[in-house]
Chains A and B, each alone.
Chain A
Amino acid sequence: MSADPTSTARSDSDRARGSALAHVIFNALLAIGFALLFWRAGDLPASMWEPLGSGSFPRLVLGALICFNLAIIVEQLRRLPHTSALAPGSIRRWLWQHRLALAVLALLTLYLLALPWLGFALASLSFLLATQILLGARSPRRLGVAGVIALVFSFGLAWVFADVFGIMLPAGVLG
């Protein structure tokens, strides 16, 4: 079954416009942030022993970065007139396509936030189990394998690091 040519053309156009807009927004935000840092770097103390102070090198880098941001913004703005307006629901569709990646990112964030409280072993066990289930370990056999993997890479690794390498992974409030 071949794809509908109209919808393919539409999706390519959406992608081109979406990409150009994303570049413009990303670089504009970065340029504002870099400008603020450039201004802040001016407050860093100079040294009486050297012509360049603590803030000179970062200012050199930030100045160059702002120039590159502006160049990319101009480059992408010149492309925008050659693309058609985004179809309604494009952003929602993009979010839906990337739902698993975003969900894994959310689980990773929760895992890292839980580390100081639950400790490495418990937090890792929960993260490994939850992520494997989210990504497809749903049948009883897959769940059994996921459970063993979660145990080995949480409590198993914590034991190896503590008893073999002498490195204590975070024990947490409950540890």
Chain B
Amino acid sequence: MDALLSSIDQLFTLSTLLTMLIGVIAGVVAAAIPGFTITMAIVLTQPLTFQMPPLQGIATMLAVYVGGSTGGLISAALLGIPGTPSSVATTFDAYPMARNGEPGRALAIGVWASFFGAVISAIVLILAAPPLALVAVKLGAWEYFSLIVFAMTVVASLVGRSVLRGLMSGLLGLLLASIGPDPMMGIPRFTFDTDLLAAGFPFLVVLIGIFAVSQLLGEVEDADQVRHGKALIASQVSFRPLDALRETLMRPLGLLRSSLVGVFIGAVPGAGGSIANLIAYDQARRASKTPEKFGTGTAEGVVASESGNSSTAGGGLIPLIALGIPGSAVDAVLMASLMIHGISIGPRLIMDHADLVYGMFLAMFVAAFLMLAVCMTSMRLFLKVTRVPRYVIVPVVLTCCVIGAYALNNRLTDVYLLLGVGLLGYILNKLHYPLAPLVLGVILGPIAETNLRRALMTNEDWSLFFTRPISLALLTLAVISVVMTLRHRWRTRSA
């Protein structure tokens, strides 16, 4: 109780709340600009927190994280370009909804879903951090590999007209991920002794190139509309947050299910928001009474994706706090910050620094409320993007993408890879290949390969993938996912 009171005392000071507010704004803005990411925002924030007391520093970075988890929604809904990998599924419904003349509704529903996702994840974090962390770390290499297989089949079946093209797109992503140094031995693969391919394809460069470049080139195909200064959305734009709140709360079960999916996937080290939003979306579609409406601009899809990705922020803290294992790149930066403040991470963290841990739990709640306030007051401003003529928005966003690709590693070669990937994305788009599986393939490729090889290094017996219960369950889900999708499409075609 003393620790809780002490954390409240430290957190609810004017300076901490102010830095958290700035953190939320920075996170929302960074994630909203295609090419800029939450990780980049957190890394840039970190040095500014060195002089702060530990809880203030961590709370500020958590605020950037929570703000960033929502900011990706803005470019996903308005431009069809996911601001972060965790908002890929948001493009499936929020973008069509915006294109149907309801960008304000798409943003408002997304913000409410993100808010509830973050709050639910904070509650789960408080109640179930230690037991969930123990389950998450019990997953061995076999289960990780099977989880990736399941995630890939979910993604491939989610998007596009053809499962075959979806699977091919995912495999193409896995192939791109295998270019560059081998994740286990560091041996260069398919680099052809060039500097361009020596470091491989960073997944953020692929994300920016595949979505942003192809989407923006698509925006300028209609010469008449572009030259007459036509904006992205021609109709009148309205923003009604209370209507959106009602729409979001009309689906309490879906909201809870997507949030819990996000918390659990977030708690699995290495998986994170990039998978969570897609699995949450898939679960929502399967549970829906109107699955055929998914992908056309339904509120259910936006709620599932946004609550799923926002709840990974709390989920990622579970293994970090309970076991000292960072679940994602962002959690690793948070962990480094704690260490810089002289706090050792591990199972004893909750015993030795209970006030700090309670403070982090409370900071998640506070950040969620600050995010809601910031987004609700600034969304009208963001909606003005839809009024900007295409001849302005296309070159400006392309320039931001180039900066984002370069600033990631300060490498010019990444900028050239951006161009190559962008061209590939445009061709795939024209041929109606879904792009989301490709990006997921690039993100998950190294995790899949490392765990497959690690599993076989531990025990050469392949049958373990089918005899370990969790691994078998995940592989069964993967098969069910493909079979059900094929059956659904076959029925739709014959109807």
Mark A residues whose CB is within 8 Å of B: 19, 22-23, 26, 34, 37, 40-41, 44-45, 47, 49-52, 54-58, 61-62, 64-65, 68-69, 71-72, 75, 97-101, 104-105, 108-109, 111-112, 115-116, 120, 124, 127-128, 131-132, 135-137, 142, 145-146, 149, 153-154, 157, 161, 165, 167-170
Complex contact B189–A54 (CB within 8 A): yes
Over the window 28-44 of chain B, the binary record of Cβ atoms lying under 8 Å from chain A Cβ atoms (1 yes, 0 no) is 00000000000000001
Complex contact B403–A52 (CB within 8 A): no
- Which single residue of chain A is at the shortest CB-CB distance from B405? A112
> Roughly how many angstroms separate A92 CA and B406 CA in the complex, as a whole number?
36
Please name all residues of chain A whose beta carbon is closer than 8 Å to the beta carbon of B221 when the two chains form the complex.
Answer: 97-98, 100-101
Judge if B228 is at the interface, Cβ distance under 8 Å: yes
Complex contact A57–B452 (CB within 8 A): yes
- Which single residue of chain B is at the shortest CB-CB distance from A71? B164
Q: Which of B228, B392, B403, B418 contacts A149 (CB 8 A)?
A: B392
Complex contact B399–A154 (CB within 8 A): yes
Please name all residues of chain A whose beta carbon is closer than 8 Å to the beta carbon of B452 when the two chains form the complex.
Answer: 52, 57
Mark B residues whose CB is within 8 Å of A: 44, 164-165, 167-168, 171-172, 174-175, 178, 182, 184-185, 187, 189-190, 213, 216-218, 220-221, 223, 226-229, 389-392, 394-396, 398-400, 402-403, 406-407, 410, 412, 415-416, 418-419, 422-423, 426-427, 430-431, 448-449, 452-453, 456-457, 460
Q: In angstroms, how far is the closest chain B Cβ from the Cβ of A156?
A: 11
Please name all residues of chain B whose beta carbon is closer than 8 Å to the beta carbon of A61 when the two chains form the complex.
Answer: 171, 174-175, 178
Q: List 22 A-B contacts (CB under 8 A).
A: A41-B189, A41-B190, A47-B185, A49-B457, A50-B453, A54-B184, A58-B178, A61-B174, A62-B175, A68-B164, A68-B171, A75-B164, A101-B218, A104-B216, A109-B419, A112-B415, A115-B415, A128-B396, A135-B227, A136-B391, A142-B391, A153-B396
Query: How many residue pairs bridge A and B at CB < 8 Å?
Result: 158
Please name all residues of chain A whose beta carbon is closer than 8 Å to the beta carbon of B392 when the two chains form the complex.
Answer: 132, 137, 145-146, 149
Please name all residues of chain B whose beta carbon is closer than 8 Å to the beta carbon of A49 when the two chains form the complex.
Answer: 457
Please name all residues of chain B whose beta carbon is closer than 8 Å to the beta carbon of A157 when the two chains form the complex.
Answer: 399, 403
Please name all residues of chain A whose beta carbon is closer than 8 Å to the beta carbon of B448 when the two chains form the complex.
Answer: 57
Complex contact A112–B453 (CB within 8 A): no
Complex contact B178–A57 (CB within 8 A): yes
Mostly, the B contact residues are: helix
Residue of A26, A40, A52, A132 ringed by the most chain B CB atoms within 10 A: A52
Please name all residues of chain B whose beta carbon is closer than 8 Å to the beta carbon of A167 when the two chains form the complex.
Answer: 407, 410
Known pairs A52-B453, A65-B168, A98-B221; list 5 more (Cβ under 8 Å). Answer: A58-B190, A65-B171, A112-B415, A149-B396, A161-B407
Complex contact B403–A50 (CB within 8 A): no
Q: In angstroms, how far is the closest chain B Cβ from the Cβ of A68?
A: 4
Q: In angstroms, how far is the closest chain B Cβ from the Cβ of A150?
A: 8
Complex contact B217–A57 (CB within 8 A): no
Please name all residues of chain B whose beta carbon is closer than 8 Å to the beta carbon of A145 when the two chains form the complex.
Answer: 392
Q: Which of A68, A127, A136, A161 contacts B168 (CB 8 A)?
A: A68
Complex contact A99–B223 (CB within 8 A): yes
- Which single residue of chain B is at the shortest CB-CB distance from A30? B172
Please name all residues of chain B whose beta carbon is closer than 8 Å to the beta carbon of A112 when the two chains form the complex.
Answer: 402, 415-416, 418-419
Q: In angstroms, how far is the closest chain A Cβ from the Cβ of B87?
A: 23
Complex contact A69–B220 (CB within 8 A): no
> Roughly how many angstroms separate A68 CA and B187 CA in the complex, as a whole number?
28
Please name all residues of chain A whose beta carbon is closer than 8 Å to the beta carbon of B182 when the two chains form the complex.
Answer: 44, 54
Q: In angstroms, how far is the closest chain A Cβ from the Cβ of B114?
A: 26
> Roughly how many angstroms separate A131 CA and B415 CA in the complex, as a whole number?
18
